[in-house]
Chains A and B, each alone.
Chain A
């Protein structure tokens, strides 16, 4: 038990060291903090116009109101920016490093190779759009009377969601040990992220299963959304926790198998 706790503490410490280093690196280009806002603002504005237009034509979509759909969009955007800040770029670089053999350098580090590959590069300047997503969420839920407990539960669920996405992206990135096309699969994953902003009720049953259990983006976005709407159901949160554990075990297994297969460019 003690070595496990020690490992977890060490992992968290290294993660924060990476975050601090990348933040310092990001501060060299301070103007990026501002400029990153323009396209995300334009995108959010576009999406807002899109759903506003739809709600100008119909009163609800699959029983969802405008504010509820907006909250779901904000949650999806928050998750997207969070993973962009934390690890998405690192996985792109990881795929590249497998091809070029630069992954050898990561292996030489006195830390877990997975940890090194996941957090070496973090896009901290995306912090501004992340705040934008939080603002949209606060606006969308202004009439939902959320209290401190709800915010804490929502935050916990978002953390679990990020953890699941981290495991999924690790699985996709691990494919780099076998194929050179993993970057493309990751881009497909980015596209699938978009699905999390729509109510599952609009999709056919087979796609709902995919979005809840295979690429569980809807499971991840629906949980915090339900809490903010005052819907308390034990099944979805339990599934989220189980999914977090399963995804971690699977991702670690695939990573280990892939790592054994890796032979550097120079060997």
Chain B
């Protein structure tokens, strides 16, 4: 475990080297969150409630969605693709450690560095408008919210590590990655609360794992999910993680057999 811890710590240090990048990333997220919030505040000028959301909960929804988006900044798929494409993977294949855990430690470290300042800045800016923010005071819900973030990040990592494995079969996967990313964004509730979607799309999101990345977490914070539903959802989310783990190890074995690197 010590070797992964070292990778994690090194990755954090590397991440903090690019402080200006972190600052501008935070600014970009502030702009995005502000646009969504202004749009919805305009809509709420003529309505008091839309499908259980009021002005406060919708502003909080987009603030949390932006924070979660920052948390998903690390790109395990891109990381893996780069290693497969330029042959760096060979270096890892001869080392006595799990490639998946190595990437996990690497991206978590990178993520901690990139998220920390951004989250602080976004939170600081939106604390300037406290009248629009819903504060969850029930410690149990706050705990479940934090737990669901941790599980969601593990699920996110598995989904995109799985996507990255496609690079064993295709030389150019950036467009596949970007397309999947875009679909995940809409099906996860990043752009709009899932309950607002047309019924057939809402039903579709209920059987897919993406809702756990945004919608479920935010609704948990907002207290829109009952305790029974949260416990059940966390169980299903864990099963998705296990399913992706199995798929990954299967694809990894198949892909590693196909892998060729110049000079290997």
| Residues of A near any B CB (own CB < 8 A) | 31-32, 35-36, 38-39, 41-43, 45-47, 49-50, 52-54, 56-58, 61-62, 181, 184-185, 187-188, 191-192, 194-195, 198, 201-204, 207
Evaluate contact between B38 and A194: CB separation under 8 angstroms: no
We find that the number of chain B residues with CB closer than 8 angstroms to chain A is: 36
With contact pairs A38-B175, A184-B24, A188-B27 given, residues A58 and B47 touching in the complex (Cβ less than 8 Å): yes
> For A32, what are the chain B residues with a Cβ–Cβ distance below 8 Å?
172
- In B174-194, the 8 Å CB interface with A consists of 175-176, 178-183, 185-186, 191-192
| Residues of B near any A CB (own CB < 8 A) | 20-21, 23-25, 27-28, 31-32, 35, 38-39, 41-43, 46-47, 50-51, 172, 175-176, 178-183, 185-186, 191-192, 196-198, 201
Question: Who on chain A is nearest to B177 by CB?
Answer: A39
Evaluate contact between B39 and A202: CB separation under 8 angstroms: yes
Evaluate contact between A57 and B50: CB separation under 8 angstroms: yes
Q: How many A-B residue pairs have CB under 8 A?
A: 96
With contact pairs A49-B197, A57-B51 given, residues A203 and B186 touching in the complex (Cβ less than 8 Å): no
In whole angstroms, what is the CA distance A19 to B195 when docked?
47
Evaluate contact between A43 and B46: CB separation under 8 angstroms: no
Interchain CB contact (< 8 A) of B43 among A47, A54, A195: A54
> For A57, what are the chain B residues with a Cβ–Cβ distance below 8 Å?
43, 47, 50-51, 196
Which residue, B41, B50, B182, has most C-beta atoms of chain A within 10 A?
Answer: B182
Shortest distance between the CB of B15 and any CB in chain A (Å): 15
Evaluate contact between A42 and B38: CB separation under 8 angstroms: no
> For A50, what are the chain B residues with a Cβ–Cβ distance below 8 Å?
186, 191-192
With contact pairs A53-B198, A204-B38 given, residues A187 and B28 touching in the complex (Cβ less than 8 Å): yes
> For A185, what are the chain B residues with a Cβ–Cβ distance below 8 Å?
24
In whole angstroms, what is the CA distance A188 to B31 when docked?
9
**What does DSSP make chain A's interface, helix, strand, loop or mixed?**
helix
Evaluate contact between A61 and B42: CB separation under 8 angstroms: yes
With contact pairs A42-B182, A42-B183, A184-B21 given, residues A194 and B197 touching in the complex (Cβ less than 8 Å): no
Evaluate contact between B35 and A194: CB separation under 8 angstroms: yes
In whole angstroms, what is the CA distance A222 to B54 when docked?
30
Interchain CB contact (< 8 A) of B31 among A45, A47, A61, A191: A191
Interchain CB contact (< 8 A) of A35 among B20, B27, B41, B172: B172
Interchain CB contact (< 8 A) of B186 among A36, A46, A54, A198: A46
Shortest distance between the CB of B16 and any CB in chain A (Å): 15
> For A43, what are the chain B residues with a Cβ–Cβ distance below 8 Å?
182
> For B201, what are the chain A residues with a Cβ–Cβ distance below 8 Å?
49
Evaluate contact between B196 and A195: CB separation under 8 angstroms: no
Evaluate contact between A35 and B175: CB separation under 8 angstroms: yes
In whole angstroms, what is the CA distance A43 to B191 when docked?
11
Question: Who on chain B is nearest to A192 by CB?
Answer: B31
Interchain CB contact (< 8 A) of A202 among B21, B38, B178, B186: B38
Shortest distance between the CB of A187 and any CB in chain B (Å): 7
Shortest distance between the CB of B75 and any CB in chain A (Å): 14
Evaluate contact between B39 and A198: CB separation under 8 angstroms: yes
List 9 A-B pairs, minimum CB-CB distance, nearest first: A39-B178, A42-B182, A184-B24, A46-B186, A35-B175, A202-B42, A38-B179, A181-B20, A42-B179
Shortest distance between the CB of B54 and any CB in chain A (Å): 13
Evaluate contact between A58 and B191: CB separation under 8 angstroms: no
Interchain CB contact (< 8 A) of A58 among B27, B31, B46, B172: B46
Interchain CB contact (< 8 A) of A181 among B24, B32, B46, B186: B24
A and B contact pairs by CB, cutoff 8 A, 6 listed: A32-B172, A38-B179, A49-B186, A49-B191, A57-B196, A184-B24
